[in-house]
Amino acid sequence: MKRLGLFFGWLIAMSFVFPPFLWAAEMGKWTYDDFKKPAQCGMCHKEIYQEWQQSLMAQSFIHPWDDVEYFKLALPHALKLEKVADVKGGCIACHGPLAFLTGDIPPKPPAAATRVNEGVSCEICHSITGSTEKEPFNFSFEINPGRVKYGSRHDSEVKFHDTQYSDFIRSSKLCATCHDEQSPYGAWVKETYREWRASPYGEKGVRCQDCHMYHAPGKSARASKHRDDIAHHVFHGPHFKNKLSGCVDIALYVKEPEVTCGSEVTIRAALFNGKVGHYVPSGSSEERMLWLEVKGTDQKGRTFHLPVEKKGFSGEEYTVADSKAIAYQAMGEIMEVKEYKGVSRDGNLPDGARIFRRPFFDPKGRMTICQWYTAKNTDIDYRFGPLETKLETYTWSVPKDFSAETVTITATLYYSLVPSSVGEFMALPAYAYEPRVVNTASMVLDVK
């Protein structure tokens, strides 16, 4: 008994000695030739190949913001700050697993067109056999590339390769190996799986695959049998406007639709997350922007913005747009930009807009988009949980001399992948920070 106690004591001690990255998939154990190219799989799995190619997981290494964030921020930072040195390979383990598994670290940039560009390929997911962690995170997948493709069927018949049924492939834990992440400072900087697990969807067993891989009748390969529920590899997320669209509902209320000049009107907005099986935003929440703009427009097209009424919770200032607030100092520091003081925290949002976000803070206490350099992110979390409703209130003081007869109040919920200030500073393509409409609601008030 005493020996067992000593053993567990040792285990706990070792887990402090070794940072989490060392529990993960083994770097450099394989060669590129151990993994077939996706186009080869596409010869038979035509539709699945098309779907995957359009998905972000096929672009996880090459798409502009990933390229820029790794080569301009994370890699230089890893080379000068010992504490974050492991992200040199860590980012790549999830974003370009082939390079990590073959030890090609740091990999050549996308322009060199090496095989790391394949991103999260067919062979990655379908060679994963399990995880070293009971609740996976930080690329803790175990992988066994070869003739056997691990899948979701007990009865597939193929000559080109072997197949084996895998509970792990069918489970949300497969996704958790890359979708949950702990920073070198121990902060949970991605926890889509953990958010999901604690939600009604997790409890009922509605998996990631059920919402992100549509199931429909058809064939998965040329000349294979017809099945009722083929798993389509869509993997849509916020890069696809259709997936974002309507993911949060909006309803607007006033006591009376008739208002008088000089009076005050209280407008109530109710917002409900009825579509997303985890928080929204989730994943890269350090940089995702989700905000509500409420404005009035009269018949002459004149508009005015209404600021959200504060609720008084601690840290609320981070959830209300303020054009004077500055943040993201670490970006300029890493890039050694002279005289850099940071950029606008909220980008070009109108003052007073409510922002549904979870701010991340670096070890110096400054808000950051560098998730690997995050020490703290638990104090403020004003995002939408699964099936959660939030109520926001707005007051419009109708001017005494208001001349129009009607005013349309519109509430629009927008999403952008990164704050516009960060997008402009890092010279990202405009789509990376353009506002995308999630939902909108409006009502007409008669002014007397």
CB 304 within 8 A of CB 296: yes
Question: Residue 141 forms beta bridges with which residues?
Answer: 131
What residue type is assigned to position 413 of the chain?
L
Residue identified by tokens 């697990």 is: 197
Nearest to 70, CA basis, from 93, 94, 97, 88: 88
CB 35 within 8 A of CB 121: yes
Tell me the window of 108-116, 170-178, 250-258, 264-272 that interacts with ligand HEC (CB under 6 A).
170-178
Between 89 and 352, CB nearer to ligand HEC: 89
Between 45 and 295, CB nearer to ligand HEC: 45
Separation of alpha carbons 390 and 272, rounded Å: 7
CB 320 within 8 A of CB 354: yes
DSSP H helices, 326-436, are 329-335, 420-425
Between 75 and 443, CB nearer to ligand HEC: 75
Tell me the window of 2-10, 66-74, 318-326, 420-428 that interacts with ligand HEC (CB under 6 A).
66-74
Nearest to 107, CA basis, from 134, 75, 63: 75
The phi-psi region of residue 155 (left if phi > 0; otherwise alpha if psi is between -120 and 50; otherwise beta) is: alpha
Tell me the window of 6-14, 274-282, 304-312, 323-331 that interacts with ligand HEC (CB under 6 A).
274-282
Instruction: Give SS3 for 390.
Output: strand
Between 220 and 344, CB nearer to ligand HEC: 220
What residue type is assigned to position 47 of the chain?
E
Between 206 and 325, CB nearer to ligand HEC: 206
| Contact mark string toward ligand HEC, 241..260, x via CB under 6 A | --xx--x-------------
Report in angstroms how near the CB of residue 295 gets to ligand HEC at its nearest. 24
Can you tell me which of 192, 368, 377, 412 binds ligand HEC, judged by CB under 6 A?
Answer: 192
Tokens in use for 389? Answer: 């409703």
Between 8 and 160, CB nearer to ligand HEC: 160
Report in angstroms how near the CB of residue 58 gets to ligand HEC at its nearest. 8
Tokens in use for 22? Answer: 């060392």
Residues 73-112 that bind ligand HEC (CB under 6 A): 74, 87, 90-91, 93-95, 97
- CB atoms inside a 10 Å sphere around CB 287: 24
Separation of alpha carbons 273 and 271, rounded Å: 7
Report in angstroms how near the CB of residue 172 gets to ligand HEC at its nearest. 4
How do beta strands 188-191 and 180-182 pair?
A: antiparallel
| Contact mark string toward ligand HEC, 381..420, x via CB under 6 A | ------------------------------------x---
Tell me the window of 8-16, 282-290, 343-351, 421-429 that interacts with ligand HEC (CB under 6 A).
282-290
Separation of alpha carbons 201 and 136, rounded Å: 18
Between 63 and 83, CB nearer to ligand HEC: 63
| Contact mark string toward ligand HEC, 126..165, x via CB under 6 A | x-----------xx---------x-xxx--xxx-xx-x-x
Tell me the window of 56-64, 107-115, 262-270, 389-397 that interacts with ligand HEC (CB under 6 A).
56-64
Report in angstroms how near the CB of residue 394 gets to ligand HEC at its nearest. 24
CB 224 within 8 A of CB 230: no
Tell me the window of 269-277, 310-318, 351-359, 439-447 that interacts with ligand HEC (CB under 6 A).
269-277
Tell me the window of 118-126, 310-318, 326-334, 421-429 that interacts with ligand HEC (CB under 6 A).
118-126
What residue type is assigned to position 248 of the chain?
V
